[in-house]
Chains A and B, each alone.
Chain A
Amino acid sequence: MTAQDILAVLTRILRDLLLNDSIVLTMETRREEVPGWDSFSYINFIVAVEIEFGVKFKVADVESFANVGAIVTEIMALLRRPRS
């Protein structure tokens, strides 16, 4: 899976979650820039992403992802690891 593929999935999940198909995510997008993406829907987003990709983020990462690109990078790293 390429970074662009993952970005597309993240975009789809956030659109579903916020019921807003006009959302466009880029690697540089920060949470504060997306209307409605508050801390509560951020947790929901993280959970939905974990379920979708079958991965589990570290709590330290969850609270420090700087932008969408950081999430994509971490997903790619987790997907490369052998499944436990």
Chain B
Amino acid sequence: MHNAALDPMMSWLPPATDFRAGLRVALDTAKPTDRIRHLASLAGYRLGFLETIQLDRAFQDQRVTEAADFATIRLAVLASSTVDHLLPAIRIAGLRRHLLIETYSGAYGQYRQDLLEPTSRLHQFAPQAVLFSLTVREAIPGIPLTASAAEVDNILARYVDDLRLLWRKARSSFNAMVVQQTFLDVTEPLFGNYDRFVPGSPARIALRLNDLLCEAATQDRILLLDVARACARDGLAAWFDAGRWFHAKLEIAPRATPKYGDLVARILAAQRGMSKKCLVLDLDNTLWGGVIGDDGVEGIVLGSGSAAGEAHVALQRYAKQLKDRGIVLAVCSKNDPQIAEAAFESHPEMVLRRSDIAVFLANWNDKVDNLKIVAARLNIGIDALVFVDDNPVERARIRQSLPNVSVPELPEDVAQYVECLADAGYFEATAFTSEDQNRAQQYAANAERDALLESAQNMAEFLQGLNMSVVSGPFTAVDHARIVQLINKTNQFNTTTRRYTSEEVTQLIGQPNAITLQFRLLDRIGDNGLVSVMILRPSSDLADVFEIENWVMSCRVFGRQLEFEAMNIAVETARRRGAKAFVAHYIPTPKNGVIRELYSNLGFSPLGDTPLADGTQRWFLSLEDYVRKDSCIARFGAAA
């Protein structure tokens, strides 16, 4: 009989030992907040098709629209096939990430009318994200087998142009993030191996259509849900079931829905800055085979000469690639530190070097404590960590004590470690910016700064010695991707945690009413990059007053007085625009306590006696009375 634990499509999630019992316990939990947390934790297991529906039904019955520690998003799925069966899996995958996804799906094939008709249910729903889930069948009919390559391209280009109008409509109507599903290639071989030589053959058309789609997506800066790629990995048999298509027009096979839902939730979570930031690696039997404390540097299994040794190298190479795209690496191992480091320094087959590891913890302490130290040293949340360990006991311990740390269920065979880690999609991106490319270097530079701080007599001397300067200016198109990323990824120094879609940031560029400011911090050790962003708009009810709609700053530059210099710059800029005052809000979240005193430290006065019901504090600053804050940061290019 079927064993869900063997389902290869979600291999990184731990199997649920007794899902039905777990569900019953969760539903019997008296306190609603605990019940919700309990149900959400069940989403962290490897659920099959049926369990996913069960959990979704149980959760929907709770009628939860918001919950502490959960983000929310409204997603509309616009489709030319039946998609109702996908919605439970999308919602459960959201729950897995503490993201409450409210879903909408129109009648199939009605998406055009839904979008264009301002009184439609879709418009009432006001989605924050719109997913277009279309099938290759609509694009293909009408293309004769004898069509030339140019004719095929023409027809497909017209089809894609039409799609682009819909994307733009979704953007202009809702300011929504737009996601387009790539076309699942369900075409059958017609000429067989010769298909690729015939422009009008269905297989060639499907390939070409996806190419043109990706080009258009790049130009329009929308995001892709790449089911075509996922299907190439898992196999068409896993993703498409002809019987279900004939029976109910299901394009995505029901068995693939848990994976489909996870792919969707990854994108939504990534856009909200909820992707993981740091990969924490165990050493013995993870980065290499064997136990270095027993076997010695020469005795570990690593590199050519053994298949297992090559598999461990493959994991190291993948980790190095992740580092190159901006994921921070850390080591957490029960080992003697000298012996563990020796492998990094002297083993010829090591791909990872000691300098690739931002935090290196080899000791005999509890890994729970070590992971907390990793997060603290990097100044990131514990939920930004992925912990990779071959030892099931350690994995279980971390899952138990630190449920927000992602712990992939590594397979027993080292040959599949990379596949498991990669398929989990922990590090999903919605951009690849120059900040990402330099991140590892910036963490290394921060270590250098830490050393400087230790040698300095006091904080003031340290800050003086850094020779800091700031480059500031309004938002520009060049920095668009980084601005979106920074606003949406930053959780600590984030005054309102208002998130902005790529579209909203585009609108802010060159928007004459708003004041947008971006700050780049330089110092003698290097360029910290674009690390802070402020958005101000004229108050809707007070003349000559600007409201600080949001202000975010990267945790990498906390404690460097940049908030002082940034406010000086904001005040100068606003004064030039004739503004007389600022209004600002601080909306507390579980993560932004670090800036609770921000506005009072900057000289703002509280507006109203008490915070609002949701804890929001309102602040006021008269620009005439503003006293310039002293800081150790010069303006870049200005004479010292």
Bound form: Cα–Cα A36–B126 in Å: 29
* Of the residues A18, A47, A56, contact of B49 by C-beta under 8 Å: A47
Q: Chain A interface (Cβ within 8 Å of chain B)? A: 13, 16-19, 39-40, 43-44, 47-48, 51-54, 56-59, 62-63
- Contact between A51 and B247 (Cβ–Cβ < 8 Å)? no
Bound form: Cα–Cα A52–B50 in Å: 10
Residues of B near A59 (CB, < 8 A) are 243, 246-247
Bound form: Cα–Cα A44–B58 in Å: 16
Bound form: Cα–Cα A39–B249 in Å: 13
- Which 7 residue pairs of A and B lie closest in terms of their CB atoms, listed nearest first? A47-B254, A48-B50, A59-B243, A19-B57, A51-B2, A16-B54, A52-B2
- Contact between A62 and B243 (Cβ–Cβ < 8 Å)? yes
**Shortest CB distance B464–A (Å):** 65
- Contact between A44 and B2 (Cβ–Cβ < 8 Å)? no
Closest chain A residue to B84, Cβ basis:
A40
- Contact between A43 and B248 (Cβ–Cβ < 8 Å)? yes
**Shortest CB distance B18–A (Å):** 13
Residues of A near B248 (CB, < 8 A) are 39, 43
Bound form: Cα–Cα A49–B58 in Å: 20
Residues of B near A17 (CB, < 8 A) are 50, 53-54
Residues of B near A62 (CB, < 8 A) are 243, 247
- Contact between B1 and A52 (Cβ–Cβ < 8 Å)? yes
- Contact between A16 and B50 (Cβ–Cβ < 8 Å)? yes
Contact-residue bracket for chain B: 20 to 34
Can you list, as one digit per residue, whether each of B69-106 has a CB less than 8 Å from chain A (1) or not (0)? 00000000000000011000000000000000000000
* Of the residues A16, A39, A47, A58, contact of B255 by C-beta under 8 Å: A47
B397 within 8 A of A: no
* Of the residues B1, B85, B243, contact of A44 by C-beta under 8 Å: B85
Q: Chain B interface (Cβ within 8 Å of chain A)? A: 1-2, 20, 48-51, 53-54, 57-58, 61, 84-85, 243-244, 246-248, 250, 254-255
Bound form: Cα–Cα A20–B84 in Å: 21
- Contact between B247 and A63 (Cβ–Cβ < 8 Å)? yes
- Contact between B247 and A43 (Cβ–Cβ < 8 Å)? yes
Bound form: Cα–Cα A59–B61 in Å: 33
**Shortest CB distance B112–A (Å):** 24
Q: A39-B248, A43-B247, A53-B1 are in contact. List 10 more A-B contacts (CB 8 A).
A: A13-B50, A16-B54, A19-B54, A47-B49, A47-B255, A51-B255, A52-B50, A56-B243, A57-B243, A59-B246
Residues of A near B57 (CB, < 8 A) are 18-19
Bound form: Cα–Cα A80–B399 in Å: 43
Residues of A near B254 (CB, < 8 A) are 43-44, 47
Residues of B near A19 (CB, < 8 A) are 54, 57-58, 61
Most buried by A among B20, B85, B248: B248
**Shortest CB distance B374–A (Å):** 39
- Contact between A43 and B50 (Cβ–Cβ < 8 Å)? no
**Shortest CB distance B62–A (Å):** 12
Closest chain A residue to B48, Cβ basis:
A51
Residues of A near B246 (CB, < 8 A) are 59
**Shortest CB distance A50–B (Å):** 9
Most buried by B among A43, A47, A48: A47
